[in-house]
Structure 1
Amino acid sequence: MTNNLLRHSAIYSFFTLLQRGLSFFLLPLYTIYLTKDQYGIISLFMAGIPFFVLIAGLSIRGSTAFYYQEYKSKTKYLRLLLGSNVAVLMIFSGLIFAIMLIFSGAFITVFFRGVNPYPTFFLACVSILLQPLYYFYQSYLKAKERAFKSSMYDLLYFVILIGLNLYFILIRDKQANGVLMAMAISNLVMFMIALADMWGNISLNLNLSLIKKTLKYSLPILPHNLFSWAMNLSDRIILNRLTSLEIVAIFDIGSQFGKVLSIVTLGVNAAYTPWFFQQVKADYIDKNKLAVVAESLTLVYILFAAIMSWLAPELLLAISKSQYGESWKIVPYVSFAFAVNGFYYCFSSVFFLDHTRYLFRLSIFGAAFNIALNFLLIPFYGFLGAAIACLISRVIFCIVSFYYSQRIFYIPYRVLNIVSFFFAGFLLTTLMFLTEPLYQDVSLVKRILAKCIMLAGIGTPILLWHWRKVRAAIKK
């Protein structure tokens, strides 16, 4: 089972990193061919669309892995359960779509200041209508441990998206509307693929007892999921309201680099969650194994955050205009925020063992704290304040969530080790604020080479030493 975790993690991580690499291909396109305010509009919707997709999806996909493991031997019941989920998703997504169009003025005023109702807002709403079913389908594939198929469909989505972006921006010169049009068409294609592939494995129905069963599990997860995206949405909204779309664009460029780590953590978590459920449902639960795997993953996340932070100035110079030069200052804070989030993923599966009610209060606290911190710091520090708020709020949320998770299901994590890893990694990374001015007169190639040698010299021995410990612990 541990081998399955490693294999599936490798597949998900490889394909998600490949997708992220393809996404980075779009950054030069955006920064060269879009004006700053147009890129700011894209930044708002890239954060806003997933937020409303979560609402439209009712977090039903969060129950898929749990119920699939629970009822995979009861084929007929599972078909009915999945069919009721699909029916509810399609109906509720349509309802959200209609509400957002009818009250478009209010949504634009509150969330997307400076955006045109048509076609800009309408195109965003089309993606909100279509994405929930495809995300449910992806959760279904991951629950079945179909890692390669899941990853290939995600890759197909990104290839279609990039091709359409190139067409609408370079050939049709559609600016922000072209990006949103490309997203809407890509989502339509994947919606049809998902529905066609699932059709033979579900029995579409509106059985109230099955719907109630799913919603009882999934609805308490909804605030938790909204918190994760509220961080991405609230900082851009507050930046837009207190500053301008141009500042939103600068912040987003830097945060894109920091969020590379989130792609890694999400890829690993896609494989980790089914593996975790298998471990805790086994006749003998080896909690030490769970702790060692979590510690190992966390160390990898921290090293990855440090690498991305140190190389961010050079990567920004290579793919964007000089007007985005200050964006590198955002990367250390955002990347370590997602390293913290990676550790959170390691223990948060505990809340999905019929304890999802805890997520409601934790998520409300986390979202409120993050929004308050953004309002407090952005007026004084601008885009850097949003980055600092992102890191602090993730740390506080992780600490509080960890406390409750240990009360529910104790796992013997070596907390001092993990805290030491974070402290040492962040200290190493913040040194770049002092050393970066020294590189100003050095060529780009020499800068990258010097930093790679330094990072390899520090990171390689640590990883090799820790990997031996992990393998020894797993073999026991």
Structure 2
Amino acid sequence: MSKLLKNTAIYTFFTVLQKGVGFFLLPLYTVFLSPSDYGMVTLVTSITSFLSIFYMLALNNGMGRYYYDYNKSHELIKELFGTVFNTVIFSSTFFSIIFFMWSDFFFSPFLAEIPVHPFMTLGLVSLAFEPIFQVVQSMAQIKQEANKFSIINFLYFLVSVGLKLLFIVGLHYKSEGFLLSVAISNGIFFIYSLISFYTRYGLSFRYSLLKKLLKYSLPLLPHNISGWSMTMIDRVFISKLLSVAATGIYSIGFQISNLVNVFVFAFSQAYSPFFFEQMKKGDEGKNAIIKVSTIGVLVISLVGSILSLFSKEVVSVFVSDVYFNSYTVVPFLTFVFVFTGVYIFVAGPLFISSTHIFSLVSIIGAILNILLNIIMIPRYGIIGAATASLLQRFISTLIYAFFGYRSKDSIDFQWSYIFGIPVVMFVIVMLILHLTENIGFIYTFIIKVIFIFIVIFIFGIIFPDLKIMIKQFVFKKIRNKGNK
């Protein structure tokens, strides 16, 4: 448990630092990039993130699954990592050649009024370099090297931000500058990844191991596609059904909501290896997972509620006036990430021996999200897109919970808390936002703050373990510093 808390703290610190700097750059981006410019960047990024699923072949998931079966021998680890690394190099090269040669054919139907060149071309350059860096970072995460993972990620972020400031602010390249900065950053860290990996693990590769990895990983591809559809496909529909400018406004709301994903992502980075480790301990390990999951959902729900309540104030302060309407989608998208946190816990048992379930649920989720976007965007605009994402994520999480509970590796979570806390919090938040819509700022602020303190007080009574865990972690840190 202490290792989980330590790694979560490291991931959270660096992720909050990175997202915090990125968040405070939003005013700059929204001044130098119009909604149409930002919409172009978002649409290209959405498409390349979809393609990256096929470049990676979900082999990073396979590494996480088999690492604890192979970590007794350095030679076996070399074979595991080497097989994944070299396969991803081959797949990245193969797909990049295909998409560069026929880029107009593949991408013109999805780019609305955006030209394929130079925008999609820059996106493909970024995509060619990115998977190798992601594989190396996945290795650090799997080995629970939280410091290394976080520092390298932060260095990448600093390089990327520096180049964006140069190209967007200094040279006024706008959307082209944004995409160019990402391409150069990916190229730099692609070179780092090659040197870092081959000096440590060499050219190891085993075909029989690749077949074993693919047998586990390929059924996860539809699941990863569903994850993309949940977070990205709405931008494609907004661009086609509304406008590229509307995509830009929606994307700013998404970026603000993404602050909650800082906590979800940071926790998941530490939770994934913790989960596989605890599952090997039987009932004792499952009890630890149940405790961590309940507290995790509580914290994520509280953070999501705070951001949702103050969404209008945050948008007013941090983004240009032309993006003001982005605040309307923040509460919905924030709770998309809250239920993503719930999913991480309830779907855990399926990762042990039932990965085929992900294909079924992912296909259902993807179809549902597409249908909801088609129905709701023309009627309700960007709010319709945000609502569609929330409904899809909630329903998919329920289905994952059902199959996870029925799997042979099932865990008897505290279901009333796991689902009850985020649902009740969302309903109350939306009610408060509705009732305070036409009330003065001071009264609205007081009501929201009082609500937050009441919730924290109630949670402290219901979940005393949360306070105990925090105190133990803090005191341990103090003792460690005192012993140095």
TM-score interval for Structure 1 and Structure 2 normalised by the shorter chain: over 0.9
2:478 aligns with: none
The amino acid of 1:326's aligned partner reads N
Pick from 427, 448, 465 the counterpart of residue 469 of structure 1. 465
For 2:447 and 2:117, the matched residues in 1 are separated by 47
Asked if the contact 1:69/1:143 (under 8 Å) is kept, the reply is no
**Between 267-276 and 451-460, the greater mean CA deviation after superposition:** 451-460
For 2:22 and 2:443, the matched residues in 1 are separated by 24
Aligned-residue RMSD, C-alpha: 2.1
Asked if the contact 2:63/2:80 (under 8 Å) is kept, the reply is no
Cα deviations by residue, 1:155-180 (Å, 9 ceiling, x for unpaired): 11111111111000111111101000
The CA deviation at 1:13 is 1.5
3-state SS in 2 of match to 1:338:
helix
**Between 181-190 and 226-235, the greater mean CA deviation after superposition:** 226-235
3-state SS in 1 of match to 2:412:
coil
2:48 aligns with: 49
Work out whether 1:197 is the aligned partner of 2:196. Answer: yes
1:350 aligns with: 349
Asked if the contact 2:230/2:393 (under 8 Å) is kept, the reply is no
2:61 aligns with: 62
The amino acid of 2:4's aligned partner reads L
Asked if the contact 1:108/1:115 (under 8 Å) is kept, the reply is no
1:157 aligns with: 156
The CA deviation at 1:81 is 2.1
Structure 2 unpaired stretches of 5+ = 473-484
The amino acid of 1:107's aligned partner reads F
The amino acid of 2:23's aligned partner reads F
Work out whether 1:460 is the aligned partner of 2:456. Answer: yes
The change in CA–CA distance for 1:67 and 1:418 in structure 2 (over 3 A counts) is: closer
Q: Using structure 1 for the length normalisation, give the TM-score.
A: 0.94
2:410 aligns with: 410
For 2:193 and 2:57, the matched residues in 1 are separated by 18
For 2:402 and 2:159, the matched residues in 1 are separated by 43
The amino acid of 2:81's aligned partner reads L
Identity of aligned residues (%): 30
The CA deviation at 1:297 is 0.6
The CA deviation at 1:258 is 1.5
Cα deviations by residue, 1:238-260 (Å, 9 ceiling, x for unpaired): 11111100111111111112122
The change in CA–CA distance for 1:452 and 1:150 in structure 2 (over 3 A counts) is: farther
For 1:24 and 1:356, the matched residues in 2 are separated by 35
2:238 aligns with: 239
The amino acid of 2:418's aligned partner reads I
**Between 368-377 and 36-45, the greater mean CA deviation after superposition:** 36-45
Asked if the contact 2:82/2:203 (under 8 Å) is kept, the reply is yes
The amino acid of 2:406's aligned partner reads R
The CA deviation at 1:472 is 7.2
2:35 aligns with: 36
The amino acid of 2:366's aligned partner reads A
Q: Using structure 2 for the length normalisation, give the TM-score.
A: 0.92
The change in CA–CA distance for 1:357 and 1:203 in structure 2 (over 3 A counts) is: farther
2:433 aligns with: 433
Asked if the contact 1:56/1:93 (under 8 Å) is kept, the reply is yes
3-state SS in 1 of match to 2:365:
helix
The CA deviation at 1:144 is 1.0
The CA deviation at 1:471 is 7.0
Map 1:363-382 onto structure 2 (within 5 A).
363-382=362-381
1:362 aligns with: 361
**Between 79-88 and 387-396, the greater mean CA deviation after superposition:** 79-88
The CA deviation at 1:308 is 0.7
Asked if the contact 1:22/1:158 (under 8 Å) is kept, the reply is no
Asked if the contact 1:311/1:451 (under 8 Å) is kept, the reply is no
The change in CA–CA distance for 1:283 and 1:406 in structure 2 (over 3 A counts) is: closer
The change in CA–CA distance for 1:214 and 1:420 in structure 2 (over 3 A counts) is: closer
The CA deviation at 1:206 is 4.6
1:312 aligns with: 311
3-state SS in 1 of match to 2:403:
helix
The CA deviation at 1:195 is 2.0
For 2:462 and 2:266, the matched residues in 1 are separated by 21
Work out whether 1:254 is the aligned partner of 2:250. Answer: no
3-state SS in 1 of match to 2:417:
helix
1:419 aligns with: 419
The change in CA–CA distance for 1:448 and 1:275 in structure 2 (over 3 A counts) is: farther
Asked if the contact 2:333/2:389 (under 8 Å) is kept, the reply is yes
Cα deviations by residue, 1:238-290 (Å, 9 ceiling, x for unpaired): 11111100111111111112122122111101100111111111255443332
1:338 aligns with: 337
For 2:225 and 2:197, the matched residues in 1 are separated by 26
Structure 1 unpaired stretches of 5+ = none
For 1:12 and 1:97, the matched residues in 2 are separated by 32
The amino acid of 2:201's aligned partner reads I
Cα deviations by residue, 1:283-306 (Å, 9 ceiling, x for unpaired): 554433322211111111111111
The amino acid of 2:199's aligned partner reads G
The CA deviation at 1:7 is 1.0
3-state SS in 2 of match to 1:73:
coil
1:166 aligns with: 165
The amino acid of 1:450's aligned partner reads I
1:450 aligns with: 446
The amino acid of 1:186's aligned partner reads S
The amino acid of 1:422's aligned partner reads P
The amino acid of 2:64's aligned partner reads A
**Between 231-240 and 414-423, the greater mean CA deviation after superposition:** 414-423
Q: Tell me the matched-pair count.
A: 470
Map 1:3-402 onto structure 2 (within 5 A).
3-282=2-281, 284-402=283-401
3-state SS in 1 of match to 2:349:
helix
Asked if the contact 2:108/2:115 (under 8 Å) is kept, the reply is no
The amino acid of 1:334's aligned partner reads L
Asked if the contact 1:80/1:203 (under 8 Å) is kept, the reply is no
